[in-house]
């Protein structure tokens, strides 16, 4: 007999089906509850609400486990490239050599963006935030590829839209960076792999050929893999929500980029470095800042600490911390903010406030230090997060379409005025 839960409201009992996931996690299916009882459930911030069934990413916050399509994040970060992981997320399996070759070649063939898009860059103020530019530019791709607006695209047509987006993202991101410096843009090179091509467009110069350091290529691959998907987080839920209205892929991803921008989500990697700089400039007294974070009358939070779902440790943070030590050593960089970060981490991990609330360093605590060591300016950090997260967003959007999910439309409990007497303007 299938499992169910009983809900008693007044005199009546309602039987609610229990859904079990492949990892044994349980959910009470309340989709028919309102029809049967007139009641809805209320869960601000969706802290306890499953919005979808998904076969892409599994996360166990209590045990600190993260898997993409059944593969542990640790093994993927060690053995795969970002492109293989992107293929895995989007198509469901790790590619064999010939699948990988054709994925790479399809992408290489679509990295150029329409020449008219270059005019957009002239319109942005020179100091405008790269995330605002990225969100607008990705949305504008829908104007250049109007076939993407057809919500009834065949799988082949849809795949071409996906390839175009994935291919053009690196070009758009590196051009945003080049424009911020006032440097000439660098065009993609088809002989380079995905990550090297991105680094070449970002750090290359028209005046000379640059050597791309394999240590940096490896580090970027690892960082992108660690950010590639994270089940139903704020930006991914946004992508699915926007896409559920049959909105095109480019606009859906653009909405996800906007959601990622906030400092409580992807914007935390920028906020962490700004915080570490602030602590350093203030004399480096980490205890003072820990106390500020604990003070309920002070709205300062320790950026890069805490996570909605990880209540043990963030498995990505473990890998990134190791990568951070390695890369700084290999590049011979001695970053004073790393010392502040280490002091903060050890003070917080031993402080009852953080221990009781299960607040641990998250992925963003160390990613900014690596990006900085590689030469990226602070306001590009969240853009790099978006670049890494892109295959996850695409995979989730595609899954939502394939599962023919209904339009997302939460309900509410109304708390406003019930009825008011209308007063004419002259009498108000």
Contact with ligand CMC (CB under 6 A) among 110, 301, 311, 343: 301
Is 388 near ligand CMC (CB under 6 A)? no
| Element of type H or E holding 77 | helix 73-79
Of 265 and 401, nearer to ligand CMC (C-beta) is: 265
Site for ligand CMC in 52-91 (CB under 6 A): none
Q: Which long-range contacts (CB under 8 A, 24 or more apart) does 82-87 make?
A: 82/194, 82/195, 82/220, 82/221, 82/224, 82/225, 82/228, 82/388, 83/107, 83/193, 83/194, 83/195, 85/224, 85/225, 85/228, 85/391, 86/166, 86/194, 86/228, 86/390, 86/391
Is 148 near ligand CMC (CB under 6 A)? no
Of 340, 277, 342, 345, the C-alpha closest to 305 is: 345
| Minimum distance from residue 172 beta carbon to ligand CMC (Å) | 22
| Minimum distance from residue 338 beta carbon to ligand CMC (Å) | 17
CA distance 154 to 108: 22
- The residue sitting closest to ligand CMC, measured at its beta carbon, is 306
- DSSP labels for 207-247? TBPPPPPHHHHHHHHHHHHHHS--SS-HHHHHHHHHHTTT-
| Minimum distance from residue 309 beta carbon to ligand CMC (Å) | 8
Q: Which residues are catalytic?
A: 307, 364
Site size for ligand CMC (CB under 6 A): 20
Cα distances from 173 to residues 14, 193, 226, in angstroms, run 52, 16, 19
Q: What would the two tokens of residue 118 be?
A: 């270059």
Is 359 near ligand CMC (CB under 6 A)? yes
Contact with ligand CMC (CB under 6 A) among 192, 302, 340, 400: 302
Contact with ligand CMC (CB under 6 A) among 164, 178, 179, 230: 230
| Minimum distance from residue 58 beta carbon to ligand CMC (Å) | 16
Sign of the C-alpha dihedral computed for residues 386, 387, 388 and 392 taken in this order = positive
Of 218 and 294, nearer to ligand CMC (C-beta) is: 294
Contact with ligand CMC (CB under 6 A) among 84, 229, 345, 364: 364
Q: What would the two tokens of residue 156 be?
A: 């082949």
Whether residue 164 contacts residue 141, with contact meaning beta carbons closer than 8 Å, is answered with yes
Question: Which one of 84-92, 145-153, 170-178, 258-266 is the stretch in contact with ligand CMC (CB under 6 A)?
Answer: 258-266
Contact with ligand CMC (CB under 6 A) among 83, 228, 268, 384: 268
Is 264 near ligand CMC (CB under 6 A)? yes
| Minimum distance from residue 70 beta carbon to ligand CMC (Å) | 21
Question: Which one of 80-88, 192-200, 212-220, 299-307 is the stretch in contact with ligand CMC (CB under 6 A)?
Answer: 299-307
Whether residue 335 contacts residue 369, with contact meaning beta carbons closer than 8 Å, is answered with yes
Any residues with CB less than 8 A from the CB of 309 and at least 6 apart, and which?
59, 61
Is 250 near ligand CMC (CB under 6 A)? no
Binding interface with ligand CMC (CB under 6 A): 230, 233, 264-266, 268, 293, 301-308, 357, 359, 362-364
């Amino acid at each position: 007999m299938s499992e169910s839960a009983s809900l008693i409201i007044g005199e009546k009992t309602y039987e609610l089906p229990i859904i079990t996931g492949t990892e044994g996690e349980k959910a009470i299916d309340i989709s028919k509850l309102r029809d049967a009882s007139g009641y809805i459930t209320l869960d601000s911030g969706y802290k306890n609400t499953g919005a979808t069934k998904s076969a892409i990413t599994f996360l166990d916050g209590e045990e600190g486990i993260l898997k993409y399509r059944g593969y542990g994040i640790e093994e993927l970060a060690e053995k795969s490239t970002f492109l293989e992981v992107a293929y895995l997320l989007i198509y469901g399996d790790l590619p064999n050599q010939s699948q990988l070759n054709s994925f790479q070649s399809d992408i290489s063939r679509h990295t150029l963006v329409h020449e008219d898009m270059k005019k957009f860059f002239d319109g942005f103020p020179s100091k405008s935030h790269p995330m605002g530019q990225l969100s607008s530019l990705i949305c504008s791709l829908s104007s250049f590829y109007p076939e993407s607006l057809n919500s009834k695209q065949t799988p082949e047509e849809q795949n071409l839209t996906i390839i175009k987006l994935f291919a053009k993202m690196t070009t758009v991101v590196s051009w945003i960076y080049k424009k911020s410096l006032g440097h000439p843009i660098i065009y993609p090179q088809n002989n380079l792999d995905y990550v090297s091509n991105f680094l070449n467009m970002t750090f290359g110069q028209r005046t000379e050929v640059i050597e791309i350091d394999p240590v940096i290529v490896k580090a970027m691959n690892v960082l992108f893999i660690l950010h590639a998907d994270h089940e139903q987080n704020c930006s991914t839920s946004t992508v699915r929500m926007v896409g559920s209205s049959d909105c095109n892929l480019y606009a859906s991803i653009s909405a996800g980029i906007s959601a990622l921008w906030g400092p409580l989500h992807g914007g935390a990697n920028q906020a962490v470095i700004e915080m570490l700089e602030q602590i350093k400039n203030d004399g480096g007294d980490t205890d003072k800042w820990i106390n500020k974070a604990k003070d309920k009358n002070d709205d300062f939070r320790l950026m890069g600490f805490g996570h909605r779902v990880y209540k043990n440790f963030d498995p990505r943070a473990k890998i990134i911390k190791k990568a951070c030590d390695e890369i700084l050593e290999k590049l011979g960089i001695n970053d004073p903010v790393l010392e502040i970060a280490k002091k903060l981490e050890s003070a917080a991990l031993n402080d009852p406030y953080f221990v009781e609330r299960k607040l641990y360093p998250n992925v963003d605590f160390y990613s900014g230090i690596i990006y900085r060591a590689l030469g990226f300016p602070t306001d590009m950090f969240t853009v790099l997060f978006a670049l890494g997260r892109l295959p996850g967003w695409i995979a989730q959007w595609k899954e939502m379409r394939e599962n023919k999910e209904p339009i997302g439309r939460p309900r509410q409990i109304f708390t406003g005025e019930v009825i008011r007497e209308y007063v004419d303007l002259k009498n108000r």
